[in-house]
Amino acid sequence: MMDVCGRNRTRRTRRTGRRNRGQVCLLLASIGFTLLILCPGALADEVTMANGDVITGEILTLKEGKLTIKTPYNETLEIAWGSIVKIQSETPVEVVLTDGSRLKGTLQLSEEGALQVATESAGPVAVAEMALITDINPPVVPAVTYEGNLDAGVSYLTGNTDTVSGNLSGLFVARSKRQRFTLRGKWYYAENEKVVNAREAGGSIKYDYFATEKFYLYANALFLYNPFKDLDLRSTIGGGAGYQFWEDDRRKLSFELGISYVDENFRVAEDTSYPGGRWAINFDYWILPDKINLFHFQEGYFSLEDFKDMNLITSQGLRFMVIKDFYTSIEVDVSYDNIPSPGFRSTDTALIFGLGYNFSL
């Protein structure tokens, strides 16, 4: 009887021990879960507003004056940078200052309450004013970027009239920190009753070297063909300097001024060549980001021997994004020759509706 009773007591003891261990594990898990709920911001970044509000979460980016922070409840907030008086981060961030310098580390407050970036290599680096910070965690930019577009349009009328027309144009830009390579091309053709009444083609190539962030030197060449303006070929080659006022995701503006050698071959008029001056303006602006794009490009040449002898080409219009990178466009192209060949007009204007594709790599 005692042996049997002893075995029974042993079984009961083992079952009790398993039950106790399970209860302890359950209790520890409950405590850990409770701590996670009660302390979501224990290791969170912290932003203090001018009105005294404190927002905790994860600092994501600062771009165009807006700080993006992800709260513990998976909500993303955008806060105006000018309304922030204090900022601290538990995780390292990359900070870009107005002078272009970059620091990587946690954002902290010194004992005096001043902002500093605690870097691993240089230690704490003081930031005199919040306004000196222009970006936080900027997107990684590849060494070379590629962008451009391709436009095409065609029309065909038959019946009382028999008209065919087509146009094709394209832009390609390769950009690194110090260099930029640009290709432009355009072609237009039209015929009525099987008689060609418009044929034009042109292209240019340009290389830019940025001596500073804004100022650059360039070399370029241009080729134009339009027999309906008596022009067999106008070719130019030259160089000069430019200034990039804006260059970001929403707006671009540059101005160039230089000298070129111009050679013109005509069908009827006498061929000419001369040293000339050149100017160019390139403007691009997203009126509504990723929806409506306004663009303007002009390039002009004038003779240094006779300032009245001037040629100008411009392209301007609107692009309306339809699906992803595809768009419809309305464009006005103007070609002006101050001293045209005898019997020809000085100005040609083309109104073009087309479809296009934007690419960015």
Of 18, 21, 74, 83, nearest in space to 48 by CA: 83
Alpha helices per DSSP H over the chain? 2-38
CB of 312 closer than 8 Å to CB of 342:
no
Token code pair at residue 266: 């005509």
DSSP string, 44-112: -EEEEETTS-EEEEEEEEEETTEEEEE-TTS-EEEEEGGGEEEEE-SS-EEEEETTS-EEEEEEEE-TT
Percent of all residues in the chain with a pLDDT value above 70, rounded to a whole number: 88
- Does this model's pTM top 0.85? no
The 10 Å Cβ neighbour count of residue 47 is 23
* Domains delineated in the chain: 45-136 (no CATH), 145-360 (2.40.230.20)
Judge contact between 293 and 319, C-beta under 8 A.
yes
Q: How far is CA 172 from CA 150, 249, 315, 359, in A?
A: 9, 16, 16, 9
Q: What is the pLDDT confidence band of residue 264, given thresholds at 50, 70 and 90?
A: very high
What distance in Å separates the CA atoms of residue 333 and residue 316, rounded to the nearest whole number? 7
Q: Which helix (H) or strand (E) holds 177?
A: none
Q: Answer yes or no: is pLDDT of 5 > 50.
A: no
What does the alpha-carbon distance between residue 316 and residue 348 come to, in Å, rounded to a whole number? 14
Q: With a cut of 90, say whether residue 109 has pLDDT above it.
A: no
User: At 271, which helix (H) or strand (E)?
Assistant: none
Give 24's pLDDT tier (boundaries 50, 70, 90).
Answer: low
Q: Which residues, at least 6 apart from 5, have a Cβ–Cβ distance to it below 8 Å?
A: none
**Which range among 6-15, 136-145, 162-171 shows the weakest confidence by mean pLDDT?**
6-15
